[in-house]
Structure 1
């Protein structure tokens, strides 16, 4: 059974356990569930989350109530479970709130419920050189939302995917990227052409080898997803190389915790400059989220400025930096393969570092097109498809 919480959301919530009892205390309500779990809900929290049309605009499902407009010492006049199994609260100021049990259980904040939610959150699946590469079919992704969802989940959880059967006409990349959302434009354009040219404004547009890196670490927010679509690849060399930056960070955390700590704490400046632009960003190479999990790798040696650290920290930073780059060169982490015409990479640019071997333009043409989509758009599209 799925239940919906009045106007609180666009989603529905499974009825994991029915409400079996309610006890009103001085500053909270204790809810007992049919599976014997007990969840306390403070009066302020319940009133703040009232889903009624006075508190939530029914069109946007966004809150209009501000808790500061409710008395801080607000108490209940009555609390009960109604005939439909919902929690009903009559407040002393005359307001009434009604909470769906599925929604209420999904947002309960007792220790057990919070631990349950943390355990149920999506987790990155770390990989090394033996990665079974997730491969998807272009036509299926363009026409089948179930196939699209499976692709996006793989991008989210693994961070590296390949799509085959993509048309090789220039601009075809735009159509599949827009199956996720709008494309993020940069100073390189909406779609950028990766091919060797004499007036290159990036090492990517040469025949040089490119070491493992993330794109645009010079931006405050690095692009979330990167797409690279092969139109022509007749030149010798130019193989693609990938490593899971999260897996390397985890290995570094276990094998050399001091170096891991240094790369999380000491910021490094990255610079991307040409004749018409000059982007700079100061940030740690390894970023952690609010609960201490690795959330981002920021790395491109060819876009790095001189280190600016204290005299005491400089040796520590160099030691950690050298160790990190050395690990990206270890065979245990590296996936290397050649991209053929009609094939496309889609990977998490803030996780999966990518590289390219040098190629010889005298042996044939090599033309890739690329673009970016932010990670937020990926996560939003997944949630909409799931609901």
Structure 2
């Protein structure tokens, strides 16, 4: 069962276990759950998270209380489990707080509860050349919220997908991208046309082989999702190549931890310059999250500036960089497939490195359209669909 949603959130929280007892201690309140778990909650934490209408605006569900306005030595005057099974606290200053047991259990910070939350977090599913590519149908994604959710979960967990049955009229990409959220504009436009042209301001707009890379590593925040939609593909060559950057980073961590550490710690500058713009950003090739897991790969050799590291670090950086690039060329990691008209790739640009074989522009027309949607929008849409 789900308990009633507290004012503090739009979600509903499952009733994992009922509250059976509460004890007030000098600096905290200790609650006992029916399944035997004990969870301590410090007094400032409880007062800070009071979900009542005086502390949280019921329309926006955003907090209006600031903890600095509460006496630092505020203590409960009385605590109990009320008739609805909620934790009820009467504070010494006359304020009353009431905590739903589902919400309280979901936010408990005893060791067991925190470990449960860590274990329940989505995990990246690493892949290699044997990936069973997740494929989805355009019309189902446009019409069915459950199909849409399954697509977004695949993007979140695997970082690569294909959609088929997409209309081939220019601009059709906009509709499916907006099923997730708004499109992120860049200096290449809202939608960008991937075609060979004489006045190219990027190697992507040539017929050259395009090595494995992430798009816009020159930005403080690389785009999260990238869409590439095939409108016409009559040219010989031009196959798409993908590798899971997270899988390569994981293998590097296991096989060469010193190289892995160098790519996590030594920043590299990336530059994107043309006649009208000049973008530059410096960051390590591999970024870790707060728990030490790989969260981002930043790589585009054709946009890289000269290394700027200490005399001691320079040999380590070059060795690590060469090793990472060599691993992206290993057949065990590479997925290669030609995109046909009416198909599109959608992938996590901060995880999945993509490339293109050279093609012969004299052998036929080739026209792709692309766009970006930030990863935050993907994660937000998933949560809204799930609730």
TM-score bracket for the superposition, by shorter chain length = over 0.9
Q: Residue 154 of structure 1 corresponds to which residue in structure 2?
A: 154
CA contact (8 A) 1:136 1:162 kept: yes
Matching of residues 1-387 of structure 1 within 5 Å: 1-387=1-387
How many angstroms apart in 1 are the aligned matches of 2:313 and 2:303? 21
Aligned-residue offset at 1:26: 1.0
How many angstroms apart in 1 are the aligned matches of 2:165 and 2:286? 35
Deviations 1:161-194 (A, max 9, x none): 0000000000000000000000000000000000
Q: Which runs of 4+ in 1 moved over 4 A?
A: none
How many angstroms apart in 2 are the aligned matches of 1:4 and 1:334? 48
CA contact (8 A) 1:4 1:11 kept: no
CA contact (8 A) 2:6 2:103 kept: no
How many angstroms apart in 1 are the aligned matches of 2:103 and 2:51? 10
Structure 1: 5+ residue stretches without partners: none
How many angstroms apart in 2 are the aligned matches of 1:86 and 1:16? 13
What RMSD over aligned residues (CA atoms) do the two structures have, in Å? Answer: 0.4
How many angstroms apart in 2 are the aligned matches of 1:158 and 1:144? 21
How many angstroms apart in 1 are the aligned matches of 2:27 and 2:258? 46
Aligned-residue offset at 1:3: 1.3
Q: Under a length normalisation based on structure 1, what TM-score does the superposition of the two structures give?
A: 1.00
Give the match's secondary structure for 1:132: coil
Give the match's secondary structure for 1:180: coil
Aligned-residue offset at 1:27: 1.1
How many angstroms apart in 2 are the aligned matches of 1:242 and 1:24? 57
How many angstroms apart in 1 are the aligned matches of 2:208 and 2:328? 18
Aligned-residue offset at 1:257: 0.2
Aligned-residue offset at 1:6: 2.4
Aligned-residue offset at 1:146: 0.3
Give the match's secondary structure for 2:325: helix
How many angstroms apart in 2 are the aligned matches of 1:154 and 1:87? 38
Q: Under a length normalisation based on structure 2, what TM-score does the superposition of the two structures give?
A: 1.00
How many angstroms apart in 1 are the aligned matches of 2:140 and 2:83? 46
Give the match's secondary structure for 1:98: strand
Aligned-residue offset at 1:4: 3.0
CA contact (8 A) 1:4 1:103 kept: no
How many angstroms apart in 1 are the aligned matches of 2:77 and 2:312? 63
